[in-house]
Chains A and B, each alone.
Chain A
């Protein structure tokens, strides 16, 4: 198939359709409104259902109903809209109903600003709703990675019967670049899922209940096993790790893309530098950091469009004190240039060299 020149929001929405998504409920909020606009046109063409919710809360609950019916269902929002959806996301996790949720992060807190940001890593990875549960969170850097991930996002959501996030930002959503869309996949037969609600004719009634059963340990044990399995089987990460790297840069999403260009430039200049770019931040690529040789690698620089940086906490947990970790923090809402990140990274290296470890 040929490359097409597409806007992020529209490419991601189309990739969801091609993955089998046949239900979309959303609500307008910048910078992702192009997703519901696209879906409102596209869903009727493929026999799917589009609903504009009366709120973000209604939209996530519509997705709850569609997922409960066995349909590949998706919603999309941005930071403060996701905050409203976390009520429903917690219920999805408890009732074991699958769904895919796009989060186009904007700067915060509060209304904040509408440009790209990475200020809601904590929201998606640490606190996607009350009660202490996790979602799988994909963290692509390019539109091509986004469209390649959409099929996987639905498959994992339905495999685990658990909500899945794709963590994006206003930049990925609104830039245009050449992208090769995946082929149209057949829509899964909703009656093939042996847990979904369809009416109990000829079988025992099914219940999808967000109320924990008489034995509260049952859900906790299932969830803990699921999260451990993710860590073993589902980590996605782009590693560029020369054997003798002295400095490792880590970043995801748009920051990962910009930092990647900077790493190449610094290597050309003779620095022994590598990169770890997570494509899933939940599960976090712990093993990639654990295997670093503390003898040769003396510094890890985490680059984030968030101040204070957020992912850096998971980097520090993975490294567990073996290697020095510093963060280049760009406040959410500011998209740094290659030059900004280059100067930031070289500044941190210079500071460490001068002041010692």
Chain B
């Protein structure tokens, strides 16, 4: 009897064991991106730009052409690659320190020029790789090693809502926020990534996909409790949904 594969490793992900912490949702984000590349038959036409921080570990698992950019500069690198090779699928994969702190300038200007690339933003509200420092997305009241036991807005301001910020610009074509805390949410996220990549490959313009993620290690909690934190604390502050999409899709 011929058995049909109903679930297998996406072709763009290597068989190496990943080095993320147990329960980290980076691996889920990696996987759904790779599944979309397979579904679009785009693996061989993809150029990925990875950042600095935990998200850079992805560079060890993706089987596409790729480079790693300096901290925060991934959009500047990616937009040049796309302009030189306009028929390729070019995406960046960046965490919140990279994208919203040191790379805020490149993030906003690349979006404002409407560069035809896709920016995938992993928001876990903390610096992961360096060990739990305050990120631009750290929630009010959240603990971090540089913001004390409770982020105080009087001292350090409020967490950036990146989708809402980018939604102030004219040029972007697709802006959406999803979460990776549950299967239904992960399925939505995958659809959003596919929509963003499709818009890019049709020459549509800039797309920004934020994925609410976790960091049980630096949140000092268990993977299971980290999902609860995402649902009870992060999603209420960072509302999910498609903030902007092309008219023909509505």
Q: Which residues of A contact B (CB under 8 A)?
A: 23, 25, 49, 51, 53-55, 57-59, 61-66, 68-71, 73, 87-88, 91, 95, 97, 190, 197-202, 205-211
What residue in chain A is nearest B80 (Cβ atoms)? A65
* 24 A-B residue pairings within 8 Å (CB atoms): A49-B80, A49-B83, A53-B76, A54-B105, A58-B106, A62-B77, A64-B67, A65-B67, A65-B76, A65-B78, A65-B81, A65-B84, A66-B83, A66-B84, A68-B67, A69-B80, A70-B84, A71-B84, A87-B70, A88-B73, A197-B65, A197-B67, A206-B65, A211-B56
B109 within 8 A of A: yes
Known: A69-B85, A199-B45. A210 touches B77 (CB 8 A): no
B68 & A210 in contact (Cβ 8 Å cutoff): yes
Contact-residue bracket for chain B: 20 to 34
Complexed CA–CA distance, A262 and B43 (Å): 63
B66 & A205 in contact (Cβ 8 Å cutoff): yes
A49 & B84 in contact (Cβ 8 Å cutoff): yes
Known: A58-B109, A209-B59, A210-B68. A199 touches B88 (CB 8 A): yes
Chain B 37-56, CB-CB to A under 8 Å as 1, else 0, gives 00000011111010000001
Tell me whether chain A's interface is mostly helix, strand or loop, or mixed. mixed
Contacts of B68 on A, CB cut-off 8 Å? 95, 208-211
Complexed CA–CA distance, A64 and B76 (Å): 9
Contacts of B44 on A, CB cut-off 8 Å? 199-202
A198 & B70 in contact (Cβ 8 Å cutoff): no
B167 within 8 A of A: no
Known: A61-B106, A200-B43, A209-B59. A69 touches B84 (CB 8 A): yes
A208 & B67 in contact (Cβ 8 Å cutoff): yes
B27 within 8 A of A: no
Known: A51-B83, A69-B84, A198-B47. 6 other contacts (CB 8 A): A58-B106, A61-B77, A95-B67, A198-B85, A200-B64, A207-B65
B67 & A58 in contact (Cβ 8 Å cutoff): no
Complexed CA–CA distance, A190 and B56 (Å): 27
Nearest CB on B from A319, distance (A): 39
Known: A69-B84, A71-B84, A88-B73. A62 touches B79 (CB 8 A): yes
Contacts of B70 on A, CB cut-off 8 Å? 61, 87-88, 91, 210
Contacts of B65 on A, CB cut-off 8 Å? 197-200, 205-207
B201 within 8 A of A: no
Query: What are the 5 A-B residue pairs with the smallest beta carbon separation, nearest first?
Result: A65-B80, A201-B44, A69-B84, A61-B76, A54-B109
B73 & A68 in contact (Cβ 8 Å cutoff): no
Contacts of B43 on A, CB cut-off 8 Å? 200
Complexed CA–CA distance, A54 and B13 (Å): 34
Nearest CB on B from A158, distance (A): 15
Contacts of A200 on B, CB cut-off 8 Å? 43-44, 46, 63-65
B240 within 8 A of A: no
A207 & B76 in contact (Cβ 8 Å cutoff): no
Chain B 229-242, CB-CB to A under 8 Å as 1, else 0, gives 00000000000000
B69 within 8 A of A: yes
Chain B 14-45, CB-CB to A under 8 Å as 1, else 0, gives 00000000000000000000000000000111
Contacts of A209 on B, CB cut-off 8 Å? 59, 67-68
Complexed CA–CA distance, A65 and B46 (Å): 14
Contacts of B106 on A, CB cut-off 8 Å? 54, 57-58, 61
Complexed CA–CA distance, A53 and B105 (Å): 10
Chain B 179-208, CB-CB to A under 8 Å as 1, else 0, gives 000000000000000000000000000000
Contacts of A91 on B, CB cut-off 8 Å? 69-70
Contacts of A197 on B, CB cut-off 8 Å? 47, 65-67, 81, 85
Complexed CA–CA distance, A61 and B109 (Å): 13
Nearest CB on B from A71, distance (A): 5
> Which residue of A70, A87, A95, A200 has the most chain B CB atoms within 10 A of its CB atom?
A200
B45 & A64 in contact (Cβ 8 Å cutoff): no
Complexed CA–CA distance, A92 and B88 (Å): 22
Contacts of A73 on B, CB cut-off 8 Å? 80
Complexed CA–CA distance, A201 and B84 (Å): 17
A65 & B79 in contact (Cβ 8 Å cutoff): yes
Complexed CA–CA distance, A97 and B68 (Å): 12
Contacts of B109 on A, CB cut-off 8 Å? 54, 58
> Which residue of B46, B69, B88, B109 has the most chain A CB atoms within 10 A of its CB atom?
B69
Contacts of B88 on A, CB cut-off 8 Å? 198-199
Contacts of B59 on A, CB cut-off 8 Å? 207, 209, 211
Complexed CA–CA distance, A63 and B88 (Å): 18
Contacts of B80 on A, CB cut-off 8 Å? 23, 25, 49, 51, 61-66, 69, 73
What residue in chain A is nearest B14 (Cβ atoms)? A205
Complexed CA–CA distance, A97 and B67 (Å): 10
Complexed CA–CA distance, A200 and B64 (Å): 6
B69 & A61 in contact (Cβ 8 Å cutoff): yes
What residue in chain B is nearest A196 (Cβ atoms)? B65
Complexed CA–CA distance, A68 and B65 (Å): 10
Complexed CA–CA distance, A69 and B69 (Å): 14
